[in-house]
């Protein structure tokens, strides 16, 4: 709750190593210029891919190199704007990168339509006769799976060119919330002002001072509510873009379009929401336990993150790294060594809260000659340990995947990514629950667990229900207004609260406006719940001593997108064609709720 530092005052060891990507903004500009000058080289292969395997492989080798360079440009462009959203040079850098990436996408857009025109039979012959083609087998399999939805080269090039202007809608939401919004200060129980920014909001919500929590939550949501019409128009534009892409590619719904592209069965989405609705009484039980533990007559949304004990557990950054490494020790010395070195020597993590830093936390996906990088605001508490562990799960995924796979497979769909991050949290949490039996420490850990499950097994499924309804309305040609979106969101939360939480309909209803990343990535939110389900199943295998379980998980991380998501899950020993992992994850949640009820009831 202290005043955040200006970016210029943050110590270097608390910042990420941007200079390891490009030594200076001038070096970045030079690389962007060189990248764009290389694009005519790939166009030379247009119309020639079917000549023979040599031509095809040369073209793919060039795309591999272009993709590596584009990925580095993207990572660097993210860095300066993320740590200081008011930095105009950072904003310009981000704009240059978006434009360059769109041009790369447009220049390479002819590949898939041309391969489809060559025909599956000819490409299968190449696969059978030329060992060099084996690398591209999954790529070709997936391409012909999507065949009915790939347009001709001219249309694909236009769609590639649209990525830049379409991406501006997401950027607008990001800049509005992170660069332009100035929040009224919160006030604590003594009437003292508490500075409220994107980087301090979470820390205030975790404060024992209820008045500080209340005023922070109200002032934060009031700012979004003030701009409800702008935010609603912007989100509606994003949804319309999704529906446009759905129609261009001949899908029946935007949900089908998004999940088909990621090779995720549509039943997985609906199964999750059905199980979530069935399990809502678990959350109703938790609200009652939390109200009693806090000793309040009624529970409010800003009480969800309140500490249940007055005993604080200060955890410096270096100690957090130690705990995470101890929790992940079953993964082996190499895994732990890479993680520790990344945090303490190679500066993977930009962790100091500072003025202008964007909200939330993230980890970048990178080519193998670049470190993965994490942005967060570390505040020396158990919640920060959890966030760091989560993002390091992403980083280790990026590390292993980028070193094991070529660029066409090195990345991975979100449904896979959220497994690696939640796995890291589950392992860290299990270690700490076992290592320290102190009642108050146990309560703090279980609170961390509930914060995690609240986000991924309550907030995200609720957002997914909101997404489905808003997309369906646009698909039917219905209007979306700010008030209609607020009412829908408030109704969904009302069902989740079950009458055990005071419902401030306007402030709860504007929740959709505060998610300026998740709701601008089509049907992203539900994938968190799938990820945490698979993560707990993998952690259970390792903690139960299942032979080779740790190596199975490393192989899972290395797989990238070289197989379908369901096949990649199977590498880790998890069957996500079944609803059992989701049911089991809710059983873990129920155990945490029961344990917390016992500890706080004593």
- Give the contacts of 313 (CB within 8 A, at least 6 positions apart): 381, 382, 440, 441, 444
pLDDT above 60: residue 1: no
pLDDT above 70: residue 478: yes
Do 138 and 193 reside in the same domain of the chain? Answer: no
CATH at 308: 1.10.1370.20
pLDDT over 90, % of the chain: 80
Inter-residue contact 513 to 227 (CB < 8 Å): yes
Do 599 and 499 reside in the same domain of the chain? Answer: yes
Domain that holds residue 194: 185-223
119, 154, 265 from 50: Cα distances, Å: 9, 18, 32
Per-residue DSSP letter, 329: G
Mean pLDDT of 242-270: 92
Phi, psi of 375 (to 5 degrees): -110, 130
Do 212 and 290 reside in the same domain of the chain? Answer: no
Q: Which alpha helices (H) appear in 328-438, and where do they start and end?
A: 333-344, 382-404, 407-410, 414-435
Choose the final residue of a domain: 141, 168, 195. Answer: 168
Q: What span, in angstroms and rounded, lies between the C-alpha atoms of 429 and 422?
A: 10
pLDDT over 70, % of the chain: 99
pLDDT for 187 equals 97
Mean pLDDT of 199-206: 88
Do 104 and 243 reside in the same domain of the chain? Answer: no
pLDDT for 517 equals 85
Do 566 and 586 reside in the same domain of the chain? Answer: yes
Do 75 and 148 reside in the same domain of the chain? Answer: yes
Determine, yes or no, domain membership for 344: no
Confidence label for 252 from pLDDT (cuts 50, 70 and 90) = very high
Determine, yes or no, domain membership for 138: yes
Do 18 and 41 reside in the same domain of the chain? Answer: yes
pLDDT for 602 equals 66
> DSSP for 23-37?
SSHHHHHHHHHHHHH
DSSP reduced 3-state for 358: coil
What is the CA angle 23-27-33, rounded to 5? 155
pLDDT for 2 equals 57
Task: Give strand pairing partners of 5.
Answer: 354
Confidence label for 511 from pLDDT (cuts 50, 70 and 90) = very high
Inter-residue contact 591 to 446 (CB < 8 Å): no
Bigger pLDDT: 454 vs 517? 454
CATH at 202: 1.10.287
pLDDT for 560 equals 93
Among 51-55, 259-263, 432-436, 542-546, where is mean pLDDT lowest? 259-263
Quote the tokens at residue 176.
């509005």
pLDDT digits 0-9 by tens, 31-47: 999 999 999 999 999 99
Do 144 and 214 reside in the same domain of the chain? Answer: no
CA torsion sign, 222 to 227 to 228 to 232? negative
DSSP reduced 3-state for 130: coil
Inter-residue contact 486 to 509 (CB < 8 Å): yes
Residue 405, by phi and psi: left (phi above 0), alpha (psi -120 to 50) or beta?
beta
Rounded to the nearest 10 degrees, how much is the dihedral formed by the CA atoms of 274, 276, 280, 283? 180
pLDDT above 80: residue 9: yes
Do 216 and 235 reside in the same domain of the chain? Answer: no
Mean pLDDT of 398-417: 91
Q: What span, in angstroms and rounded, lies between the C-alpha atoms of 27 and 83?
A: 20
Mean pLDDT of 213-239: 97
Inter-residue contact 206 to 306 (CB < 8 Å): yes
pLDDT above 80: residue 4: no
Q: What span, in angstroms and rounded, lies between the C-alpha atoms of 289 and 294?
A: 9
pLDDT digits 0-9 by tens, 90-135: 888 888 998 999 899 999 999 999 999 999 999 999 999 999 999 9
pLDDT for 88 equals 85
Phi, psi of 120 (to 5 degrees): -65, -40
Determine, yes or no, domain membership for 460: yes
Q: Are strands 193-194 and 186-187 parallel, antiparallel or unpaired?
A: antiparallel
Determine, yes or no, domain membership for 320: no
pLDDT for 70 equals 93
> DSSP for 99-163?
HHHHHHHHHTTTHHHHHHHH-HHHHHHHHHH-GGGGGGHHHHHHHHHSGGG---HHHHHHHHHHH
Determine, yes or no, domain membership for 404: no
Do 89 and 164 reside in the same domain of the chain? Answer: yes
Domain count, the chain: 3
Q: What span, in angstroms and rounded, lies between the C-alpha atoms of 211 and 218?
A: 10
What kind and span of H or E run contains 350? Answer: strand 349-350
Inter-residue contact 474 to 257 (CB < 8 Å): no
Residue whose entry in the numeric block shows the structure tokens 């968190």:
528
Given the residues 31, 114, 157, 391, the one annotated as active site: 391
pLDDT above 80: residue 357: yes
Mean pLDDT of 149-165: 81
CATH at 56: 1.20.140.70
First to last CA, the chain: 30
Determine, yes or no, domain membership for 370: no
Rounded to the nearest 10 degrees, how much is the dihedral formed by the CA atoms of 568, 572, 573, 574? -60
The overall longest dimension of the chain from CA atoms, in Å, is 78
Confidence label for 182 from pLDDT (cuts 50, 70 and 90) = very high
Do 61 and 209 reside in the same domain of the chain? Answer: no
Beta strand segments in 126-215, E: 186-187, 193-194
Confidence label for 303 from pLDDT (cuts 50, 70 and 90) = very high
pLDDT above 90: residue 178: no
Q: Of 260, 293, 398, 385, which Cα lies nearest the Cα of 342? A: 398
pLDDT above 80: residue 290: yes
Computed over every residue of the chain, the mean pLDDT equals: 93
Mean pLDDT of 591-599: 96
Determine, yes or no, domain membership for 66: yes
- Count CB atoms within 10 A of the CB of residue 68: 19
Do 421 and 507 reside in the same domain of the chain? Answer: yes
Among 290-304, 348-362, 376-390, 396-410, where is mean pLDDT lowest? 348-362
Determine, yes or no, domain membership for 477: yes
Q: What span, in angstroms and rounded, lies between the C-alpha atoms of 139 and 263?
A: 13
pLDDT for 3 equals 66
- Around 300, how many Cα atoms within 13 Å sit in the side-chain half-sphere? 15
pLDDT for 79 equals 86
- Give the contacts of 243 (CB within 8 A, at least 6 positions apart): 254, 471, 474, 475
Mean pLDDT of 183-212: 93
Active site annotation includes 391: yes
Quote the tokens at residue 48.
């020639």
């Amino acid at each position: 709750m202290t005043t955040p530092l200006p970016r210029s005052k943050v110590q270097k060891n608390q910042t990420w190593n941007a200079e390891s990507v490009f030594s200076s903004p001038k070096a970045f500009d030079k690389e962007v210029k060189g990248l764009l000058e290389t694009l005519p080289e790939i166009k030379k292969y247009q119309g020639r891919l079917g000549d023979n395997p040599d031509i095809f492989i040369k073209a793919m080798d060039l795309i591999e190199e272009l993709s590596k360079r584009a990925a580095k440009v993207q990572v660097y462009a993210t860095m300066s704007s993320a740590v200081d959203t008011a930095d105009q040079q950072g904003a310009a850098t981000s704009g240059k990168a978006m434009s360059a990436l769109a041009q790369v996408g447009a220049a390479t857009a002819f590949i898939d339509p041309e391969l489809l025109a060559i025909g599956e039979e000819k490409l299968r012959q190449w696969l059978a006769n030329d060992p060099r083609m084996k690398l591209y087998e999954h790529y070709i399999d997936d391409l012909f799976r999507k065949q009915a939805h790939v347009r001709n080269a001219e249309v694909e090039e236009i769609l590639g060119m649209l990525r830049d202007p379409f991406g501006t809608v997401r950027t607008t939401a990001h800049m509005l919330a992170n660069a332009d919004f100035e929040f009224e200060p919160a006030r604590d129980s003594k009437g003292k002002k508490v500075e409220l920014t994107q980087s301090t909001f979470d820390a205030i919500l975790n404060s024992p001072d209820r008045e500080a929590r209340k005023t922070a939550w109200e002032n934060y949501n009031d700012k979004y509510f003030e701009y409800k019409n702008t935010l609603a128009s912007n989100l509606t534009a994003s949804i319309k873009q999704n529906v446009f892409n759905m129609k261009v590619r001949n899908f029946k719904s935007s949900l089908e379009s998004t999940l088909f592209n990621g090779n995720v069965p549509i039943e997985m989405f609906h199964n999750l929401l059905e199980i979530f609705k069935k399990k809502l009484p678990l959350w109703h039980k938790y609200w009652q336990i939390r109200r009693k533990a806090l000793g309040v007559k009624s529970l409010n949304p800003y009480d969800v993150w309140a500490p249940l004990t007055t005993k604080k557990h200060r955890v410096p950054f270096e100690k957090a790294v130690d705990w995470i490494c101890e929790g992940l020790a079953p993964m082996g010395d190499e895994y732990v060594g890479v993680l520790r070195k990344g945090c303490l020597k190679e500066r993977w993590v930009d962790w100091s809260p500072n003025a202008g830093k964007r909200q939330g936390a993230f980890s970048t996906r990178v080519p193998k000659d670049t470190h993965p990088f994490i942005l967060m605001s570390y505040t020396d508490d158990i919640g920060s340990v959890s966030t760091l562990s989560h993002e390091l799960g992403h980083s280790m995924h990026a590390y292993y995947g980028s070193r094991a796979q070529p660029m066409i497979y090195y990345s991975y769909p979100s449904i896979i990514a959220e497994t690696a991050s939640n796995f890291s949290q589950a392992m860290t949490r299990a270690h700490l629950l076992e290592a320290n039996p102190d009642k108050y420490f146990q309560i703090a850990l279980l609170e961390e667990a509930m914060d995690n499950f609240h986000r991924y097994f309550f907030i995200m499924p609720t957002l997914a229900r909101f997404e489905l309804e808003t997309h369906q309305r646009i698909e039917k040609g219905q209007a979306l207004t700010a008030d209609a979106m607020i009412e829908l969101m408030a109704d969904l939360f009302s069902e989740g609260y079950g009458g055990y939480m005071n419902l401030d309909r306007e402030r709860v209803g504007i929740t959709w406006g505060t998610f300026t990343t998740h709701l601008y990535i089509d049907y992203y939110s539900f994938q968190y719940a799938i990820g945490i389900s698979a993560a707990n199943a993998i952690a259970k295998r390792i903690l139960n001593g299942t032979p080779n379980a740790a190596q199975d998980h490393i192989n899972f991380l290395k797989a990238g997108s070289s197989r379908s998501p369901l096949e990649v899950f199977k590498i880790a020993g998890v069957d996500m064609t079944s609803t059992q992992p989701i049911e089991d994850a809710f059983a873990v949640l129920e155990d945490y709720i029961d344990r917390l009820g016992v500890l706080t009831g004593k």
